[in-house]
Amino acid sequence: MHKGEAQTYIVVAEKPSVARSIAKLLKSKGVDAYVTSVRGHVLNADFPEGYEWNSIDPSKLFSVREFRSIISDERSYKELEGVFKKDGALIIATDNDSEGELIGYEILSIYRAIKGNQAPYKRMRFNSTNPGELWRAWNNLEDSLNMNWVMKAMLRQHFDLVTGAAFTRLLTKETRKHKNVRLISWGSCQSPTLGFIVKREKEIMSFKPEPFWYIRVRFRTEDGEEFEAKSENMKDLERAKALWKSVEGQKTGRVLSYDEGKKTIRRPLPLDTDTLLKDLTRITGVSAATLLSVAEELYAEGYCSYPRTETNRFRYDFDFREPIEALVNSDLSKLLGDLNKVRIEPLNGRKDDGAHPPIYPIKPYPKDGSLKRNVWEYIARRFAANVLFSDAELGESETEIRVGDVVVRASGSVITQEGFFKMFEYFIPKETPIPKLSPGDVLEVVKSELKEEKTRPPPRLTEAALLELMEKNGIGTDATRAEYPKIVVERGYAVKRGRSFYPTELGMRLVDALSGVDERLVTPDTRKFVEDFMEMVNRGTKTYDECLEQALRVYEELYKACEANIKRISEALAGAISPTKYKRSANYDFQSNST
């Protein structure tokens, strides 16, 4: 084909980076196509006219079955309109997951509004952006979108919108009758996130510390090495005292057993988003939401690969040259050793989201002490540790020693093979050496004592712990999960002090009120509930219409139960609101530690 002539294909990807990969591939194969992309969703669902905040009672939202499409990304929409005025058949090249399918459907609807309802299109379905995979997909274009996937994602969209808006409007409007408040919200992800924080706080509040006792002995070997050993914990003070009597004043102990073993610590797996956020929030103390946006900047500027991925394995055809070169050209290169002697052998995990590879470095980021550098360095070190380093090894030892009538135990652990810790210097286990002993050895007692301690409540949730809970309970996705801890802080339901989350009075009362109506409103059950329906739509065992109907009927009942108690609930919520609290916006990452 010649320049200026009509082009045959218009390929639309989900994001610019994928469009670039496809364009490069097609060009190399001599295929003439116009390749462009949107940036995620272009359209969003909203209620039809007449269902605005002040137009109707929120309960009416449960009977909405026809939703309005609104443009959520004006720029992408306009670009598509322009592109679709050209000649050429549409190829939908969005990600291979149900949200990608829905985005594809949005693209198709814009296309057909311009080209007519019968305008031809194809679906290009690929599981990675490697040239080989893209070429395979290009030669196996599918005739249509997977409508089960589209409807599955749409069910999620509509259920979350109706329930979220209904409860949020009810709670906000009713509380405003007592106090001026910006927003009191409920949602299938944010509410269980807050639920986790409140649940932990209640465990701490109701925790009754119980005393326990143990005997601690400090020994010295013939070589003059000292170490400590402890008896089991005892809840019974009388028993502890009796045993202590047999130990008190003893000058020696006798070694009953001494065993050594080895423990392998596997090198880290290829990096997915959840792991990146959990680890970095522990390393830096910065919020997951901020960290993800920093990772996105690194990606946008070409320092690392796409940072939103659930994949923790490298495909067989992954090209390791680029990331390794990034390492070689960086200040980390001195840790690499002689690369000619190193095997390229990643330790793979089992997850593959079918759209993106694990996160890896692409080019060096300068050592400037910034947060961005910390994030890049973590990505780079993790990649190197996974691909170029060996497992580490701990030497572990255990001994039992008799003193009087008591057996005390000590265990030691030392790093015997540094392995990947040379590169990945995070979370290195503490070494607790104990001397080498033999059964029958007699040890000098340097000091012995009967100690009292109290059981301690569980700690408050850190962001890493919260993300872990969300992940385990199916709250949010890898791309959205970081948002919810941020939301519960911004809405005034919780505060982050140091690295821990504390519910506010409002947060506590909100969870109390909702769980008083039904536990499902503050547990992961809502998410599970809607996802079971989504799965039915996916499999085709039930239609979208049936599922939306049934799911909303259940939540309409919960809404009514909430409404029946709304006077008491709204008074309780209003009672927790002090006007000043809402003036300052909670700055998530720079909370003072001193309140």
Residues that bind DNA in the complex, under the rule CB under 7 A = 14-17, 39-42, 44-47, 52-54, 72-73, 76, 95, 97, 99, 103, 156-157, 160-161, 164-165, 168-169, 172, 182-183, 185-191, 293, 296, 300, 308, 476-477, 479-480, 484, 487
> Please, what is the minimum distance in Å from the beta carbon of residue 46 to DNA?
5
In the bound state with DNA, the residue whose beta carbon lies nearer, of 76 and 127, is: 76
Q: Which two tokens stand for residue 563?
A: 């409404």
Kindly tell me which of 178 and 216 has the beta carbon lying closer to DNA.
Answer: 178
Provide, rounded to whole angstroms, the least separation between the CB of residue 569 and DNA.
17
DSSP 288-339: HHHHHHHHHHHHHTTSBS-S-----S--TT---HHHHHHHHTSTTGGGT--G
Q: Count CB atoms within 10 A of the CB of residue 67.
A: 17
User: In whole angstroms, how close is the CB of 296 to DNA at the nearest point?
Assistant: 4
Per DSSP, helices labelled H in 86-236 are: 98-115, 131-138, 147-176, 190-205
Write out the E strands in 465-595: 494-497, 500-503
Closest approach of Cβ 102 to DNA, in Å? 9
Residue 46: strand, helix, or coil: strand
DSSP state, 235?
S
Rounded to a whole number of angstroms, the minimum distance from the CB of residue 48 to DNA is 10
Name the residue nearer to DNA (CB basis): 165 or 197.
165
Angle in degrees, CA 22, 27, 32, rounded to 5 = 95
> CB-wise, 279 or 478, nearer to DNA?
478
Alpha carbons 498 and 16: distance in angstroms, whole number: 37
Task: Give the C-alpha separation, 501 to 201, whole Å.
Answer: 9
> Which of residues 165 and 286 has its CB atom nearest to DNA in the complex?
165
Q: Which is nearer to DNA, 37 or 397 (CB)?
A: 37
| Closest CB 469 distance from DNA, rounded Å | 14
Contact 90, 13 (CB under 8 A): no
Name the minimum Å distance from CB 360 to DNA: 16
Instruction: Tell me whether residue 44 or residue 148 sits nearer to DNA (CB atom).
Output: 44
**Least distance (Å) from DNA to the CB of residue 203?**
23
Place of tokens 């994928």: 18
Strands 43-46 and 68-71: antiparallel
Nearer Cβ to DNA (73/226): 73
Query: What SS3 state is found at 92?
Result: strand
467-503: string of b/e by CB count within 10 Å (b at 16+)?
bebbbebebbbbeebbbbbbbbbbbbbbbbeebbbbb
With tokens 């009087």, the residue in question is 404
- For DNA, give the closer residue by CB, 72 or 417: 72
Tell me how far, at minimum, the Cβ of 547 lies from DNA, in Å.
Answer: 16
